[in-house]
Amino acid sequence: MMITLKNVTKEYNKGNIGLEDVSLDIAKGEFVFIVGKSGSGKTTLMKLLQKELDVTSGQIIVNGQDYKKLTQRNLPKFRRQMGMVFQDFRLLKDRTIFENVAFAQQVVEVPHRYIKRQVENMLEMVGLKDRMNAFPNELSGGEQQRVAIARALVNHPVLLLADEPTGNLDPVTAKEIMELLSEINKSGTTVLVVTHNKELVNEMGKRVILIEDGHIEQDEIRGPMIFRRFLYGIKEGTRNIFRNKMFSLASLGTIIACVFLLGTFLSVALNVRSTMQQMEQSVGISVFFEPGISAERKDQIGEEIKKKEDIATMRYVSAEEAWESYKKDVFQGNEELLEGFEGNNPLKESDSYEITLKEVKSYQQVVSHLETIDGVRKVRYSEGAAEGMTKINTMGTYLAGGIILILMAVSIFLVSNTVSIGVAVREEEISIMKLIGAANGFIKAPFQAEGMIIGILGSLIPTAIIFAGYEGIINWMNDKFHVVTVFMKFVPIQQIMLYLLPLALLVGIVIGLLGSSITIRKYLKV
C-alpha cells in the first residue's frame, strides 16, 4: 500500500478532535478524492501525511515508512517522495516560471546540469514551456496552478498531495487541472486530492472518501479504480496485439483450433450421449409376480416402484399382451404352429411391469431393491448390455477430459509466448512504471487484457463456424451414412450451443489469463 492509517487519532487539545480512530488504505497508483465540510478533518489528514503534525495515537505508514520511526534528520529526504499542490499556488512572485519550478530541484541539491532539461520537460508536460520566462503575475490562475503542479512533480514523487487545487479557479479551468492530475495518475503516481467541489468529484468518477467530524463516513472504494484499470488494460492490450500481429495471429489460430476441436468433440459427445440415452431405453427391467398374487397387491407393488427416483418409465404388461407380443416375435410366418395353443395362454403367469431407467449405471441398485419387494417372483434384465453402456460412458468421459487438457496446455504455452513478446517490447516502459510507483495490478492489466482478448476471439470464431456448419454436416451424414444415422438421434444445434458457448468462452478466457499470467510472473516479477 502507498498509504496506510491504522486507528489514527489526532487530538489538538482536550475535547478538540481533528481525527478519531481512522483506518484507511490507499494503494499505489490510486486517484482518491478526500471530501467533507470545513472542519471535518480533511486538513488534519493532509498535515498528518505531510508530517507537519504527529498523531496522538495510531500508526501511519507511507510508501513503506512508519512515521513513528521517521527521525527529523531523515524527514527532508522522505518528503522528496511527495509532491504538494496548494490552493493558493504558493509561487515565488519575484522569480520566473522556470525559476519557480527549478527551485524545487535546487533545494534538494540536484546538479545544475540536470535542472534545465528536467524543468523544461516538466513545463512542456503542463503546456507552459513557451511561458517559462514569464512571472507568476503574468499568468492566469489556471496557468499558475499548472506551474505549481510542475514544481510538485519535477522531483518525480511517488505521491502527489493536492489541497484544494481548484478552489480559486473557474469551472472550466478547474476541470482542465483535474484532467491534468488524472493524466499524471495514469503514469503510476498516486494522487490524493482534498476538495469541496462535488460536481467535479462526481464527474471524475474516482474513489471518494467522505470525512465528517473526524470520521470516515463513506468510502466508495475500488470500483471506479478497477473500472479505469479495466479500460486502460483493454486499450493497451489491444495495442499490444496489433504491435505483435504475427505472434498474436499464431496464438489466436491455436486457440481457434483448440476450441474448434473442443466444440467438435462436444457436439459428437452430445450426439453420442443422446444416442446412448435412446439405447438405454431398450435396456429394460422386467418385474414378474408370485403366482396367485392379487390385482390389488400388483397395484401396490407398482406404487412402490414409482417411488424410486431412478425410474424413467414404467408400464404394466398383462399376460395376454405378453402372449400376443411373443407370438409376433416367434411364430410370425409360421402361424400354423399356434393351432395347439388355441384358447390356452402358456404365459398366463407372466404379467409384469416393464421398467426403463434414467441412467443405466443405476441398474444394479434398482434391481437389488426390486428383488426385496414382497410379491416379486423374479426380476429380469440384460446385465451385459447395462455394464457395457456404463463402461462406454466412463471411457468417453476420461477421453474427453484428456483431449481437452492437452489442447488447453498447448494453447496456454503459445499465448504465454505471445505475451512475452509484448513484455519485451515494453520493457523500458515497464521499468519506468515500477520506479515511479505503479501498482502491480496497473502493470499487469494490459497483458492480462491481451490474453483475454485473444482468448475470447479464439473462442467465438470457432463457435460461430460450428453453429453455421452443423446442419450441413448432419444433412451430409444422412445422405452418405444413412445406415448409421438410423441408429443416431441428432441433437439440435440450439441445444449444443447452450453447452458450447459458455464452455468455449470459459476455456478461451482461462487460456488467455493463464498464458498471460505465466509470462507476467516470469518476466515482470510482479
Mean pLDDT of 138-167: 88
Strands 207-212 vs 215-220: parallel, antiparallel or unpaired: antiparallel
**Does residue 84 have a pLDDT over 70?**
yes
Strand order of the β-sheet with 159-163 is 82-85, 159-163, 190-194, 31-35, 207-212, 215-220
**Does residue 340 have a pLDDT over 60?**
no
pTM of the model: 0.45
DSSP-derived secondary structure for 448-471? HHHHHHHHHHHHHHHHHHHHHHHH
Taking the C-alpha atoms of residue 17 and residue 40, their distance in angstroms, rounded to an integer, is 10
**Does residue 149 have a pLDDT over 60?**
yes
Contact status, residue 374 vs residue 294, Cβ threshold 8 Å: no
pLDDT value for 470: 84
Q: Which of 14, 90, 3 is nearest to 50 (CA)?
A: 3
CA dihedral 34→40→42→44, nearest 10 degrees, is -160
End-to-end CA distance of the chain: 14
How confident is residue 8, by pLDDT bands cut at 50, 70 and 90?
very high
CATH numbers and ranges of domains, the chain: 3-228 (3.40.50.300), 235-278+393-524 (no CATH), 284-327+346-381 (3.30.70.3040)
Mean pLDDT of 38-42: 87
DSSP secondary structure code for residue 231 in this structure: H
pLDDT value for 472: 82
C-alpha cell, 272:
453420442
Considering all CA atoms of the chain, what is the largest pairwise distance in Å, rounded to the nearest integer? 132
Taking the C-alpha atoms of residue 294 and residue 77, their distance in angstroms, rounded to an integer, is 101
Residues paired with residue 57 on neighbouring β-strands, in sequence order: 9
Mean pLDDT of 468-473: 84
DSSP-derived secondary structure for 199-217? HHHHHHT-EEEEEETTEEE
Mean pLDDT of 322-332: 63
- Residue 43: which residues within 8 A CB-CB, separation 6 or more? 163, 194
Mean pLDDT of 266-290: 71
Q: Render pLDDT for 187-245 as a digit per residue (tens, 0 to 9).
A: 888 999 998 877 778 777 788 888 988 998 888 644 445 555 666 667 777 877 777 67
E strands present in 252-411: 285-289, 311-317, 352-357, 376-381
**Does residue 304 have a pLDDT over 70?**
yes
Q: Is 9 exposed, middle or buried (0-12, 13-18, 19+ CB in 10 A)?
A: middle
Q: Render pLDDT for 435-458 as a digit per residue (tens, 0 to 9).
A: 544 556 667 777 778 778 888 888
Taking the C-alpha atoms of residue 296 and residue 66, their distance in angstroms, rounded to an integer, is 86
pLDDT value for 308: 81
